Amino acid sequence: MKRFGDPARLALLLASVCAAPMGLCAPAAAQETEARAEDEIIVTARRREESLQDVPIAVSAISGDQLAAAGAQDITAVSQTVPNITLENSRATNSTLTAFIRGVGQQDPVAGFEQGVGIYLDDVYMNRPQGAVLDVYDLERIEVLRGPQGTLYGRNTIGGAVKYVTRRLDPNDPTLRARFAYGSYDQMDAVLAGSVPLSDTFRIGGAVAGLTRGGFGDNLTTGAENYNKDVFAARVSAEWAPTPDFLVRLSGDHYQDDSSQRQGYRLLPGAVQLQPLPDRFDTTAGITNFGPITKSSAEGTGAQLFVDWSPGGGDLTLRSITAVREDEYESPIDFDSTAARTFDVPVVYENEQFSQELQLIYEGERLSVVAGAYYLDANAFDAFDAIFTSIAQFTLGDVDTKTWAVFGEATFDLTDALSLTVGGRYTEDERNAVVIRQTFFSAPSPFFGGPGTIGSASPVPRFEGTRTDDAFTPRVILAWEPNPDLNLYASYSQGFKGGGFDPRGNFANADVRAGFLPEFVDSYELGAKMSLWDGRVRINSDVFFAEYQDVQIPGSVIVPGPPISFVGTVTNAGAAEFKGAEFEGTASFTDNLSGVLSFGYIDAEYTEFIVGGVNIASQRDVQNTPDWTGNASLTYSLPLSIGPDQGTLSFTGSSAYRGATQQFENPIPLLDQPGFWLYDAAINWTSDNDRWRVGIYGRNLSDERYITSGYNFPTVDGSVLAFYGNPRTVTASVEVRF
């Protein structure tokens, strides 16, 4: 079965439409049962702790324990469980993230472009996608907020936000957790985490992880592994709480990724590689033999100072979040993926950021307020050669971003059941770009250690530009809770993302020198959240409609020359419309059997896409946005003692579906991925005292080969490359907690 059939589509839509009336008819429980209280999911989507069912926005939450119990290894696994979201490794990378929510996102990690989906490590916005493929270790939960965010969050994000929340320190007792896993392709993961209170007011803790795996394939030219993993990561934190009303937390994190560079699979024959390779994870890329960069390297470090103060223990909280981050990458990308130096691109990325956020939070009987100010100072630098045999086209982009904003949101309970939320944000983004483009008749360029035989200079070899964009973006939510088990809401929100400059562009053109325009989205949403049968069934559903203006679409093309050149393009597509529905449900059928069902549907289309004065919207499609996404799982648990330890044995089977997906706006049959299913299974045993956790996890059990990203340069020796999702893997793990 390669796609949802019409009966299944109809059934899913009916489930979403009928969710609200079912909640109205369901009997309200006078009091939550003990099981329901234990299962309550607490999120901080609105900058305060709330039950997931009480938050009148489309938000999903997955705990670290849930991800671990499914055998998930990094944040991209969230795509299998949350509707209308795409999280995947960017093409040719191990730790750079491509993220889309409801059709809004950013595919290109080059300097000068910001993400459409905000990635937060705890409360800190990560300005660049490098290093954002966060591994699952020492994790409390992941929250996914769909739709524009800005009236509550430090950085405005036009498509949504993904919050990676790390585990907090225990204020009272020492803790220690050790986990070891071994699996397919010689996967070996070791994680050690713990904390210790040094006094009644001060505690320290941290976690360290070594995550390794052999390659899914091989480089037949160099002998290196392809799609392997070699990651070291660590986090440390210290908390000081001299009174119950005052908390200072200082934390830091570091990662080092020495995995081999991912190289793509050629989908077309060429002058050097005449026939496709038999294994989709194999490659013949030879760039690491030629240099100048012979291996991939990624390293990043961040620090955060969090201060929280409630004067007199009252309703008012003052909060400060100060953070710095920096990372460095060296990446040898082989665009032709052959042993020849037909189209090789050594690239260096360097990113730095400083952010400061101030918040004022008030929690009254009928009024809740969040107000704040945010400042970000960031630099994104990249330099690369596009090497065509003996010609090196050098490009350097250095982009400074300074942004500040004030934001606020207030929720007032009009009655015991009806509340109104009104929020707004003013944002000003300033970008300063320096771009250098040169062509050399020798390779590599002087930046990468070459002799520097100058060829033809770019029409504008050096460009400096500045642009400032500002906007006020509002949000309004009306929520009605007729009983504790039903929450209905309607909302409107607007999102904004500033413009910028493409460092790969041809700055001889006036429109390229002016930069690309900011983009806006107006989002409308109706939602229902309900609990049925004393909390044994929970259903969260919504329908949405969004109007997207001046969509930023980066791309790149080959100009034949002579000399041949690699040029970036950015299109501000006039307009697009997104409409769809989302459903997330959980059910405890019996004390032993439970299930999860989620799905998303989106109809995403361009309504205006002007090229050469002609609207070609009917010939373009929204990238990385399948029309259907879905997930279903069943878990059966039974008591089982192992030695002296009482415990619970659980069996879980799950399936996930993703509809047909285009990698670019133009259809490319070789690269476009038809709809497909993924099947997973897990067996977990957990002791009743939570001391021991043992599991066996099988992922992608049908060994599906599916494309996640690609390159399309067919005029350069047929260089059409695909990158694939993980094959079938089986992993066993054991964890002990003290």
CA distance 643 to 694: 14
Model pLDDT, residue 387? 96
Q: Is residue 168 part of a domain?
A: yes
Q: Is residue 185 part of a domain?
A: yes
Q: Is residue 465 part of a domain?
A: yes
Model pLDDT, residue 30? 27
CATH number at residue 217: 2.40.170.20
Q: Compute φ and ψ for 676, nearest 5 degrees.
A: -155, 160
Tokens for 215?
A: 């390659």
Q: How many CB atoms lie within 10 A of CB 2?
A: 10
Tokens for 720?
A: 């059409």
CA distance 390 to 442: 5
Model pLDDT, residue 695? 96
Tally of domains in the chain = 1
Cα 537 from chain centroid?
Answer: 29
CB 662 within 8 A of CB 668: yes
Which letter does DSSP use for residue 161 in this model? E
Model pLDDT, residue 45? 65
pLDDT tier, 50 (very low <50, low <70, confident <90, very high otherwise): confident
Q: Is residue 222 part of a domain?
A: yes
pLDDT tier, 256 (very low <50, low <70, confident <90, very high otherwise): very high
Which residue in 735, 727, 656 sits closest to 698, CA to CA?
727
Which letter does DSSP use for residue 215 in this model? -
| Rounded mean pLDDT, 59-65 | 91
Q: What is the pLDDT of residues 588-614, one digit of tens each?
A: 999 999 999 999 999 999 999 988 889
Q: Is residue 1 part of a domain?
A: no
Q: Is residue 576 part of a domain?
A: yes
Structural domain of residue 486, as residue ranges?
Answer: 6-737
Amino acid at 265: Y
Is it the case that residue 289 has pLDDT exceeding 60? yes
Model pLDDT, residue 458? 67
Residue 122 sits at the vertex; the CA angle it makes with 120 and 123, to the nearest 5 degrees, is 75
Which letter does DSSP use for residue 705 in this model? -
Q: What is the pLDDT of residues 380-392, one digit of tens each?
A: 999 999 999 989 9
Q: Is residue 266 part of a domain?
A: yes
Model pLDDT, residue 456? 64
Report in angstroms the alpha-carbon separations of 207 from 194, 250, 300, 727, 735: 6, 14, 16, 29, 14
Which residue in 395, 381, 385 sits closest to 130, CA to CA?
381
Is it the case that residue 29 has pLDDT exceeding 50? no
Model pLDDT, residue 107? 81
Q: Is residue 27 part of a domain?
A: yes
Considering only 47-56, 248-257, 305-314, which range has the smallest mean pLDDT?
47-56
Considering only 11-15, 69-73, 220-224, 638-642, which range has the smallest mean pLDDT?
11-15
Q: What is the pLDDT of residues 473-517, one digit of tens each?
A: 999 999 999 999 999 999 999 999 999 999 888 888 888 899 999
| Rounded mean pLDDT, 284-304 | 94
